[in-house]
Amino acid sequence: MSGPLALAITGLSRWFGGLRALEKVDLSLAPGERRGIIGPNGAGKTTLFNLIAGEVAPTAGRISLFGNDVTRLPPQRRAALGLARTFQVNTLFPNLTVSENLLLAVQGTTKAKLSLHRPISSYRHLHEQAQALLESVGLPGAGETIARTLSHGEQRQLEVALALASRPRILLLDEPTAGLSLAESQRLTGLLKRLERSMSLLVIEHDMDVVFDVTERITVLHEGQVIAEGGPDEVKTNRLVKDIYLGTS
Amino acid sequence: MTWRRAIPLLACVALLLAAPPFLPPYALTLLTQILIYAIFAMSLDLLLGYTGLASLGHAAYFGIAAYVVGILTTQHHASFWLCLCAAVLAASAAAAVFGLIAIRAAGVYFLMITLALGMVTWGLAFRWVSLTMGDNGISGIARPSLLPGWSFAQPLPFHYLSVAVFLVAFALLSLIVRSPFGLSLRGIRETERRMGALGYHVWLHKYLAFVLAGAFAGLAGALWAYYDGFVSPVEVHLLTSVEALLMVALGGPGTLVGPVLGAGIIVLFKNLLSIYTKRWLLILGLVYIGVIVFAPKGIVGALRGARR
Amino acid sequence: MEFWLTQAFNGISYGAMLFLLGSGLSLVFGVMRIVNLAHGSYFLLGGYVGLTTVLKTKSFPLALLSGALSVALIGLGMERLFLRKLGKQSLSQVLMTMGFALVFQDLGLLIWGGDPYTLAVPAFLARSAQAGPVLVPFYRLFIIAVALAVGIALWAFLERTRAGASIRATVDDAEMAQGVGINVPLVSAGVFALGAFLAALGGVVGAGFIGVYPGLDFEVLPYAFVVVIVGGLGSLPGVVVGSLLVGLLDNFGKALFPELSYFTLFAPMALILALKPTGLFGKR
């Protein structure tokens, strides 16, 4: 894969008063790379995602997506550049149907979203895309179900589907298998592995099996700093990482 | 639109068109009033029910349009179409300006800012006597005549004019809420955070909804000026704004049809009640309290919930 | 020169009354995030009760106390019996408090009739003194004094007592406060009653110079909100600054541009909000 880095973070810091949630983090993601982010609770993983996504402004440092400096850009501009994310807690549209959830996601990066003179039912290609997404994440036929009545596992699937709707070039997944059963977890992992190779992935996970299965390189965060980075074997044998994870998988 | 939903709607439209000649005069004027307030309530529903923004100053746009019609008609004898366009434009312009200040805020801040903006409009209506006649209001607004010789001075022709405007407003608003833009508004109401991540310029959507809502409120206000023949600061007062909120809340926010129903109930209630008792304000207050205690999702919401 | 001094003095005294009106609203908002459309009604009812007390007992201090306390009780009743059940639903709160406002307005009309009244203040307060070029009515000085006393008492209460600390903690973060063991429902009830108390006190005080009449409740309501919006919700220094600003702007506005007087409130409010959406001293 050639071309500019999918994601380039330099010197990224975020302080909340006296708390240093992230401290001088550097991270580069090549196009098509699959990277895992691991670390104990409070290491700053979700803060990192919020900074990349543009929900939170950094205290210092720069972020660029595919060669574009996005440090000051709001979330919707980053989405237009090909960024998508899932949330640690399901952030769906609870009272809308699954189809409506997906339509919102599909039209989000299109001009159609500002059109008010045609009913949405007339936008066939949007509906087709939504239907295709529905099937690819394993929820066929659930179109008319109200989102909040889905099971937790199904909601998590919808969560991922919403992020995939814009055909992103880089996808941030925040603990995608949280709360899933083994079977559901495996199905999701299968889905992630089947994603287009050109899509870059950044995955926060606590489930090490998922991390080692889906990602090729792992970055370890601890107390806001990168303490290790490398392939699965490197990270597994890293002394510092082992100390921190003593007792956990 | 499925046939199951379309048939009751078509039946209502048919009734609206066929029944008026048979109604006694008082009932006819009440029905006209209901239709005008229904437009007002629907405009607020776009903002409240669909976008999730509760405005306490929506009467500002209703009133500004009414005043524009009042001033243009009594002082400049302007034609119906000119007045209507000027009124809706004025209301939209006001919403465009106020929206810039209000949309930055969320939740309760939004409520308070829209309240303040609404009362500022009231204050202008009340104090700018050279323009608005202040507390005395503008009276003698003549009914329009669309074609020479075809005046709307009589209740029945004017009623049909109101029916026409109502149906147009209802059709346009239905189209808007069923469009991708309409779905975006509902998304913002549900989970604003996700919308930004999905690529939506949330502020812009809210702002557009705000201006559109103001425009339709202006349409209602313009019609009201012709209906009542009289415009006063009451049209922009907080009470009028809150009444619109009640109509939406009572009927069921986010349904478009609900606010129409709510408008009907409140207008009938106010008019009929004040015939029988001087304490109608007290009872209206109790109705407000009662609605919240017993029917928080409104009538249409409760009906739909029961059906599921 | 005399004009400017007089207007400035009038603006400050009006601002003092607005401080009483707005401080309660700001506190209630800070703790509970409730938009209380009946806040103006508290002001009005306080004035009416104070009026009747003075008529019956000729005691001004008693009028201040009875007006404020009776309305505090009403506020407490509203919160405990009705508003508490609504949780965080803003629209429902607005509609319900509006319902109460209408009920109170009609009750006021029923009990006190439609005529405007002015509360008979003690003779020594009704005098004026000449201070240089300016005629200083003692009553306006009294209002400023009351506002100062209340402001200092509030500050001391919030900063130096345990109850006050609980309130400040709840304003900051209600969930955390609950977690630390603060009885948030009790704080809410207490603050709501305090808010009503302050507004009603403002009403009794106001009854002596702007009077009491039907419609006053909705006339002062937007002022209360503008004070709180400009100053920032939940901030006592914010209310001080906000009420002074609004009082001065309103007075100068009415004197210099009578036809645009509300506009002189609007323009600065818009400017401040455009720069800082949560008000001058506002937090989140």
CATH of the domain at C65: 1.10.3470
Opening angle at CA C239, ends C238 and C245, nearest 5:
90
The mean pLDDT value of chain A amounts to 89
**Chain A interface, best mutation among B104, B179, B205, by max A CB count within 10 A:** B179
- Given B182, B183, B201, which is nearest A76 (Cβ)? B201
Beta carbons within 10 angstroms of residue C113's beta carbon: 11
Helix (H) or strand (E) holding C76: helix C60-81
Contacts of B208 (CB under 8 A, 6+ apart): A114, B181
Q: DSSP string covering B103-164, please?
A: TT--HHHHHHHHHHHHHHHHHHHHH-HHHH-GGG-EE--PPPEEETTEE--SHHHHHHHHHH
Half-sphere exposure of B127 (CA within 13 A, CB side): 17
Burial B280-290 (b: 16+ CB within 10 A, else e): bbbbbbbbbbe
Instruction: Express each pLDDT in B290-303 by its tens digit.
Output: 888 887 777 777 67
Q: Are A24 and A61 in contact (CB under 8 A)?
A: yes
In eight-state DSSP terms, residue C282 is -
Instruction: Express each pLDDT in B8-59 by its tens digit.
Output: 888 888 888 888 888 888 888 899 999 999 999 999 999 999 999 999 999 9
Which of chain C's residues have a Cβ under 8 Å away from the Cβ of B119?
221-222, 225, 262
| Contact between chains at A94 and B191 (C-beta distance less than 8 A) | yes
Closest A-chain CA to B208? A114
Q: Based on C-alpha coordinates, what's the Rg of chain C?
A: 18
Q: Based on C-alpha coordinates, what's the Rg of chain A?
A: 18
- Given C89, C95, C226, which is nearest B246 (Cβ)? C95
Is C281 domain-assigned? no
Name the percent of chain B lying above pLDDT 70. Answer: 95
Delineate the domains of chain A, giving CATH numbers in brackets.
1-82+170-192+200-249 (3.40.50.300), 91-167 (no CATH)
- Given A54, A109, A115, which is nearest B181 (Cβ)? A115
Rounded to an integer, what distance in angstroms lies between the CA atom of residue C77 and that of residue A248?
A: 54
| Contact between chains at C278 and B109 (C-beta distance less than 8 A) | yes
**pLDDT value, residue B180:** 94
Which of chain B's residues have a Cβ under 8 Å away from the Cβ of A74?
196
Rounded to an integer, what distance in angstroms lies between the CA atom of residue A89 and that of residue A96?
A: 18
Write out the E strands in chain A: 7-16, 19-29, 34-38, 60-65, 68-69, 83-85, 170-174, 200-204, 217-222, 225-230
CA–CA min distance B191, chain A (Å): 6
The residue behind tokens 């007002």 is B40
Q: At what angle are helices C2-32 and C236-256 packed, to 10 degrees?
A: 140
Contacts of B294 (CB under 8 A, 6+ apart): none
3-state secondary structure A142-197: CCCCEHHHCCHHHHHHHHHHHHHCCCCCEEEEECCCCCCCHHHHHHHHHHHHCCCC
Is C236 domain-assigned? yes
Closest C-chain CA to B56? C94
Opening angle at CA B266, ends B261 and B270, nearest 5:
155
The residue behind tokens 């008979």 is C120
Whether C contacts A, i.e. 3 or more CB pairs less than 8 A apart, is no
Instruction: Express each pLDDT in A192-239 by its tens digit.
Output: 998 888 999 999 998 888 998 899 999 999 888 888 898 888 888 888
- Return the structure tokens found at A78: 């980053």
Half-sphere exposure of B149 (CA within 13 A, CB side): 0
Residues pairing with C137 in the sheet: C128
Band the pLDDT of C47: cuts 50, 70, 90. Answer: very high
C152 touches chain B (CB under 8 A): no
Q: Can you list the alpha helix ranges (DSSP code H) found in C161-211?
A: 162-172, 174-179, 184-207
First-to-final CA distance of chain B? 18
Which of chain B's residues have a Cβ under 8 Å away from the Cβ of A84?
197-198
Is C103 domain-assigned? yes
Rounded to an integer, what distance in angstroms lies between the CA atom of residue C109 and that of residue C122?
A: 26
Q: Would you kindly state where each structural domain of chain B is located, as residue ranges?
A: 26-235
Closest B-chain CA to C85? B293
- Given B180, B190, B197, which is nearest A94 (Cβ)? B190
Helix (H) or strand (E) holding B256: none
Is C254 domain-assigned? yes
- Is the confidence at residue B307, as pLDDT, over 70? no
**Chain B interface, best mutation among A100, A114, A174, by max B CB count within 10 A:** A114
The mean pLDDT value of chain B amounts to 88
Q: Are C40 and C228 in contact (CB under 8 A)?
A: no
CA–CA min distance B2, chain A (Å): 12
- Return the structure tokens found at C15: 């601002």
Closest A-chain CA to B212? A116
Spatial CA neighbour of A77 closest among A90, A87, A89, A66: A66
Structural domains of chain C, count: 1
Closest B-chain CA to A81? B199
Instruction: Express each pLDDT in C70-118 by its tens digit.
Output: 999 999 999 988 888 887 777 888 889 999 999 999 999 999 988 888 8
Spatial CA neighbour of A116 closest among C235, B175, C231: B175
Rounded to an integer, what distance in angstroms lies between the CA atom of residue B35 and that of residue B288?
A: 21
Q: DSSP string covering C97-129, please?
A: HHHHHHHHHHHHHHHH-SS-B-----GGGS-EE
Is C239 domain-assigned? yes
| Contact between chains at C95 and B286 (C-beta distance less than 8 A) | no
Spatial CA neighbour of B141 closest among B258, B237, B226, B241: B226
Which of chain B's residues have a Cβ under 8 Å away from the Cβ of A122?
none
Spatial CA neighbour of C22 closest among C212, C225, C216: C225
Is C186 domain-assigned? yes
**pLDDT value, residue A208:** 86
A81 touches chain B (CB under 8 A): no
Which of chain B's residues have a Cβ under 8 Å away from the Cβ of C255?
none
Rounded to an integer, what distance in angstroms lies between the CA atom of residue A14 and that of residue A54?
A: 12
Half-sphere exposure of A243 (CA within 13 A, CB side): 6
**Chain B interface, best mutation among A91, A116, A162, by max B CB count within 10 A:** A116
Pairing state of beta strands A217-222 and A68-69? Answer: unpaired
**pLDDT value, residue C125:** 79
- Return the structure tokens found at A217: 């390189």
Q: Let me know how many helices (H) and strands (E) chain C has, helices first.
A: 11, 2
- Given C82, C258, C270, which is nearest B127 (Cβ)? C258
Closest B-chain CA to C272? B101
Is C33 domain-assigned? yes
Restricting to A residues 140-179, those with a Cβ less than 8 Å away from any Cβ of B are: 162, 165-166
* Window from A36-50, A142-156, B80-94, B124-138 with minimum mean pLDDT: B124-138
Instruction: Express each pLDDT in B123-175 by its tens digit.
Output: 888 888 888 888 888 888 888 777 666 678 888 888 888 999 999 999 999 99
Mean pLDDT over residues C20-38, rounded? 87
In eight-state DSSP terms, residue B46 is I
- pTM beyond 0.80: yes
Q: Are C74 and C57 in contact (CB under 8 A)?
A: no
Residues pairing with A69 in the sheet: A64
Is C284 domain-assigned? no
Size of interface B-C (CB pairs under 8 A): 138
